[in-house]
Amino acid sequence: MNLPNTLTLVRIALIPVFVVLLLSGYAKAAAAVFIVASLTDALDGYIARKKNLITNFGKLMDPLADKLLVVSALVCLTELNEIAGWMLIVILAREFMITGLRSVAAGEGIVIAAGVTGKLKTIFQMVAVIALLLGNWPFAYVGFPFDRVMLWLAVILTVYSGVEYMIRNRRVFAQN
């Protein structure tokens, strides 16, 4: 197991810690865990590319770990009435759709790595989650709804990247 793949597994292992903290009322501590977990995403990708440690495991598990982390946060934030249920449904639908696409592709021996818009979507989702967890700090002091703006942009990018993935990888469905 190389370092990038280990970091991916660490990200997954941090999810229950994050969830327990958040649902126990420790939003700031949950935010710290979420930030650390999010940073492992950037770090594992950087190390994998720089040291040429890109593996099929990483191509599949890194985006899955991101999905698990972000979706766990969004479900908890929906439970805490910080996010509208429909936004969660839109995001979940896209994530299930892309995971299904990747599963079908994997059955055909094709690995679909995360694309640029998928990565951007993940960044915006993570920034939105962090802003929501921190009570829109420091933007709350100036009355700018940064957390809500990031959430809306994340939803828009989620839809866009989902459509883009389906169009770009339609050959996977054509083979079946």
- pLDDT tens for each residue of 106-141: 788 887 777 899 889 989 999 999 999 999 999 989
Cα–Cα distance between 33 and 69 in angstroms, integer?
11
Q: Kindly state the helix (H) or strand (E) to which residue 102 belongs, with its residue range.
A: helix 85-107
- pLDDT tens for each residue of 37-50: 999 988 998 898 89
Are 138 and 119 contacting, i.e. CB atoms less than 8 angstroms apart?
A: no
- pLDDT tens for each residue of 137-152: 999 899 999 999 999 9
Residue 81: pLDDT band with limits 50, 70, 90: very high
Q: Kindly state the helix (H) or strand (E) to which residue 59 belongs, with its residue range.
A: helix 56-79
- CATH among 1.20.120.1760, 3.10.450.50, 1.10.10.10, 1.10.600.10 for 3-171: 1.20.120.1760
Cα–Cα distance between 56 and 106 in angstroms, integer?
10
Question: How many other CB atoms sit within 10 Å of the CB of residue 82?
Answer: 17
Regarding pTM above 0.75, the answer is: yes
**Mean pLDDT score, 153-163:** 96
- pLDDT tens for each residue of 65-79: 988 999 999 999 999
